[in-house]
Amino acid sequence: MLILPAIDLRDGKCVRLYQGDFDQQTTYDVHPVEMAKRFEAEGAEWLHLVDLDGAKSGEPRHLDLLHEIVTQTQLKVEFGGGIRTCESARAALELGAKRVVVGTKLVQDQALASDLFGRMGNKIVAGIDTRAGQVTIHGWTEDSGCTAVQFARMMESMGCKRIIFTDVQTDGALSGPNLEALKALKESVEIPVIASGGVATLEDLDRLAEIGMEGTIVGKAFYEKRFTVREAIERVKIPVG
């Protein structure tokens, strides 16, 4: 299972939100590029980079930091936040992102979803963010009225090659991932699923591997020193079950 350390950006700083709430933010006193270098030094191959300002405003705000990280590390960067047009997706890819995560616009515009998957294939990842079982949009501030399974099946039918699932209620809470929802989603589609939200212990990684996640995004557990990137990578190399 792949470990993807996360950097969430707001006002150019590394932050973590509690359950997606912009009013419950922890800011970390380390520059995002320095944080990326630390993750790389511990063995990370991928980085999950989220532009929170972009997610809220509807267009990327931190493409400059994406470019800095790409040019100053060897990390493969997965970038999301405010990607709502083919142009913004292409801009992130041209600046060095290996793939981009699109959420809100896929829910709102099926024609664009089909176009993105058709033009950019596996470089586009569908970000499915849910609260109480409903897919959320606009930086986790509104409910869409669509369930995760419904949305995932729709995206797969349009050519989506990969899904990232985030349970907003577990994100930043260090309460453990929503295994039930992840298992249901995994069983509903044939494409790979990456889990995001709630990982607090190495045992959580075991459980995610057991239900067949392709990877997991880990944020707060690293920042709060629950375990290291290196320990996480070593853990998922060990067969479970």
pLDDT at res. 144: 62
Q: Rounded to an integer, what distance in angstroms lies between the CA atom of residue 63 and that of residue 104?
A: 19
Pick the closest to residue 36 from 80, 74, 82, 81 (CA basis).
74
Q: Does residue 133 have a pLDDT over 60?
A: yes
R_g of the chain, CA atoms, integer Å:
16
Q: Is 129 a catalytic residue?
A: yes
Task: Quick: pLDDT tens for 208-238.
Answer: 999 999 999 999 999 999 999 999 999 998 6
pLDDT value at 4 more than 70? yes
The predicted model gives 146-162 an average pLDDT of 93
Rounded Cα gap, residues 135 and 129, in angstroms? 5
CA–CA dist 56, 75 (Å, integer)? 26
How high is the pLDDT of residue 82?
A: 92
Residues 28, 223: Cα–Cα separation, whole Å? 8
- Selecting among 51, 129, 167, 171, the annotated active-site residue is 129
Q: Could you tell me the two tokens for 78?
A: 């997965």
204: annotated active-site residue: no
215-218 and 193-196 strand pairing: parallel
What is the CATH T-level fold of the domain 2-237, as seen in this structure?
TIM Barrel (3.20.20)
**Which residue in the list 8, 51, 53, 167 is annotated as catalytic?**
8
Least Cα distance to 2 among 240, 241, 229 occurs for: 229
pTM of the predicted structure, to 2 decimals: 0.92
CA 122 to chain centre: 15
